Amino acid sequence: MKAHEHLADQLNRRRLELRLQWTDIARAAGITDKALRAMRRGEYGPSELTQIRLDEALRWQPGSVRAILEGGQPRPLGRLSAEEAADAVTEERMDAILREAGVDHLTLEEALARSEGISEEIRRYLDARGITLSARQARVVETWARRLEEDLRAAEANDEPHAS
């Protein structure tokens, strides 16, 4: 079975389990019905961020869509606490957002120059794409950005080398 066929099969099984329409899944994942249909047909693969959104929409643990595309099986959220799931989804989503935004490869100097605006840059990126985080996820993102800024300052103070 090809990867897109396996994905289509698993999406359909979960859709029926949750008693959802395809339009419900597309809307929850922030994509169009047409895009979802094209993914199921194998016309293109879902981006990393779309994979994360599909995991959320189908109440699967983070990384389930990726596992399906690699021949594995999805894992329903029921095996994680709500807090663990929110943290995992937020961390995975933020990593994908940073990669898509092209800021995951910054050198220490570039990151330091931009560190004051990391939270705002992430917020603009999310807003421009219509991505809405829950209040809890927003707090996690703010904490994450603040820690990143603190780590960057500490690295500069210690003059630690930074691998780019």
CB atoms within 10 A of CB 60: 22
Domain ranges in the chain are 3-79, 82-158
Read off the pLDDT of each residue in 110-122 and give the average, rounded to a whole number: 59
**pLDDT per residue as tens digits for the range 150-164:** 766 776 677 655 444
HSE-up of residue 22 (Cα within 13 Å, Cβ side)? 13
Topology of 3-79 in CATH?
434 Repressor (Amino-terminal Domain) (1.10.260)
Mean pLDDT for the chain overall: 75
**pLDDT at site 9:** 95
Which of the four pLDDT bands, split at 50, 70 and 90, describes residue 103?
Answer: low
pTM for the whole structure: 0.53
